[in-house]
């Protein structure tokens, strides 16, 4: 087996169980059954959107809610835990982890309810927090995150195969680390809620639970050095850089000079959009040496603090902020999109934009400034026909920006 980390060997002994959680894991169902044949005892694949309809013999595919957890995810998670109880010493669990797992895999901590988790998750997603910060809080409100799956699989050994949807590919963050250790604490989680002015907006049960954890009245998540980690191995299969390198090869085959500017774009969406557009304008004015036609590629995940009542996602908002910054600027064409085929609570993955987007909007009565202020990018781009809606892609390796400069 080989990934970005290089070659990797792992003995598959005893009964083999496969659990996959995340966007696109259903596409692997036939692979496990063909690859392991009779050694595969049983598998469960938990997804948001079912893409594959291939008939499977030993593997079940279950759909659940995302980005807000739902009862389907809670029931499916319980099925996964029941399966893990069957693993004994010498048995092997392969745990496939992809983007979306933090929402799909759900079992609230003792004393909390699914509705508590739903309310908190909704607030976190609108707060402007980074995914690492969001997952810190998620981990401390869950029975299955931050090593919970590893505990459930004991004494079986666990091989985690991950497709990273977080910057830095940190296994303590990907999917909220269901099979990995967690260096964060209840105090870290509580401090984040206070920093983002959420500590007074969460349900009373959640507040009391976290404060009990801060006082040491509730056991912490699985920490570095725990003996369970000796039963666990982790392999990164793919990440954002892999996707951008593939895009670079394709752009060059089409005759574009191509530059990957970053795989770690983060921070406020509108700020990053204006910075990128300023960079592009600098090239036009001769401040930087790039020969058109040139393709610029950027990856990462920016954040949005939702203050309006509109509809959109961070990629559509990035495109709208860029449209305003590029107003009347010719020669630059941009796509901002999520690699999983979705962007926020919409059916689009992102949007296309260029220097004429604002004027085209004005022609049909659209106000880009009002739309941006109300976080309503979807309803700005939809009438223009500029939404990018490929449907579920079967993977998730963060977001990407493609800019063509002529």
Q: Which pLDDT tens digit goes with each residue over 91-127?
A: 999 999 999 999 999 999 999 999 999 999 999 999 9
23 contact partners, CB below 8 Å, separation of at least 6: 47, 48, 49, 66, 98, 99, 100, 340, 392, 394, 395, 396
Residue 363 is part of a domain; what is its CATH number? 3.40.1480.10
For 347-366, what is each residue's pLDDT tens digit? 999 999 999 999 999 999 99
Residue 36 lies in a domain: yes
Torsion over CA of 195, 200, 205 and 206, rounded to 10 degrees?
-20
Look at residues 394, 391, 292, 272 and name the one whose alpha carbon lies nearest to residue 336: 272
> Is the pTM here over 0.75, yes or no?
yes
Instruction: Specify whether 87 is located in the same domain as 230.
Output: yes
- Report yes or no: 300 and 399 within 8 Å, Cβ to Cβ: yes
- State what percent of residues in the chain have pLDDT above 90: 93
- Report yes or no: 305 and 319 within 8 Å, Cβ to Cβ: no
Distance CA 16, CA 92 (A): 5
- Report yes or no: 200 and 126 within 8 Å, Cβ to Cβ: no
Instruction: Specify whether 259 is located in the same domain as 389.
Output: yes
Query: Residue 214 burial (CB < 10 Å; 0-12/13-18/19+)?
Result: middle
Distance CA 247, CA 264 (A): 16
Sign, CA dihedral 82-84-89-92, equals positive
Residue 46 lies in a domain: yes
For 38-65, what is each residue's pLDDT tens digit? 899 999 999 999 999 889 999 999 999 9
| Paired strand residues for 400 | 299, 337
Instruction: Specify whether 81 is located in the same domain as 225.
Output: yes
Q: pLDDT band at 388, cuts 50/70/90? A: very high
Mean of pLDDT over the chain: 95
Full domain range(s) for residue 393: 241-405
- Long-range CB pairs of 358-365 (<8 Å, 24+ gap) are 358/323, 358/324, 358/327, 358/328, 359/327, 359/328, 360/384, 361/323
For 311-327, what is each residue's pLDDT tens digit? 999 999 999 999 999 99
Q: Using the predicted structure, report yes or no on whether residue 22 has a pLDDT greater than 60.
A: yes
Residue 171 is part of a domain; what is its CATH number? 3.40.50.10180
- Report yes or no: 325 and 274 within 8 Å, Cβ to Cβ: yes
């Amino acid at each position: 087996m080989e990934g970005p980390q290089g070659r990797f060997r792992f003995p598959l002994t005893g009964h083999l169980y496969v659990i996959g959680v995340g966007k696109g894991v259903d596409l692997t169902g036939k692979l496990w059954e063909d690859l392991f044949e009779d050694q595969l005892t049983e598998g469960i694949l938990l997804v948001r959107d079912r893409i594959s309809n291939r008939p499977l013999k030993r593997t079940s595919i279950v759909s659940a809610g995302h980005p807000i957890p739902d009862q389907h995810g809670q029931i499916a998670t319980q099925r996964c835990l029941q399966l893990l109880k069957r693993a004994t010493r010498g048995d092997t669990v392969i745990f496939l982890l992809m983007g979306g797992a933090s929402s799909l895999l759900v079992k609230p901590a003792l004393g909390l309810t699914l509705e508590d988790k739903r309310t908190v998750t909704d607030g976190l997603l609108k707060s402007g927090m980074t995914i690492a910060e969001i997952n810190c809080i998620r981990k401390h409100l869950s029975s299955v995150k931050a090593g919970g799956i590893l505990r459930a699989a004991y004494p079986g050994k666990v091989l985690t195969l991950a497709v990273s949807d977080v910057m830095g590919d940190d296994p303590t963050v990907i999917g909220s680390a269901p099979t990995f250790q967690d260096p964060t604490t209840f105090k870290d989680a509580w401090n984040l809620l206070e920093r983002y002015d959420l500590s007074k907006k969460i349900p009373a049960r959640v507040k009391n639970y976290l404060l009990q954890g801060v006082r040491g009245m509730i056991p912490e998540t699985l920490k570095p050095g725990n003996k369970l980690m000796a039963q666990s191995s982790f392999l990164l299969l793919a990440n954002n850089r892999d996707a951008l390198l593939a895009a670079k090869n394709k752009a060059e085959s089409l005759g574009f000079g191509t530059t990957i500017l970053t795989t770690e774009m983060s921070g406020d969406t509108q700020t990053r959009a204006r910075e990128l557009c300023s960079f592009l304008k600098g090239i036009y004015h001769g401040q930087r040496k790039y020969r058109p036609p040139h393709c610029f590629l950027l990856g990462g995940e920016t954040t949005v603090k939702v203050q309006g009542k509109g509809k959109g996602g961070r990629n559509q908002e990035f495109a709208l902020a860029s449209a305003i910054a590029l107003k009347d600027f010719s020669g630059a064409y941009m796509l901002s999109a999520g690699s999983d085929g979705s962007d926020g609570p919409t059916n689009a993955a992102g949007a296309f934009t260029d220097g004429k987007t604002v004027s085209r909007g004005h022609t049909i009565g659209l106000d880009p400034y009002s739309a941006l202020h109300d976080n309503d990018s979807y309803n700005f781009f939809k009438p223009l026909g500029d939404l990018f809606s490929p449907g579920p892609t079967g993977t998730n390796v963060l977001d990407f920006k493609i800019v063509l400069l002529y």
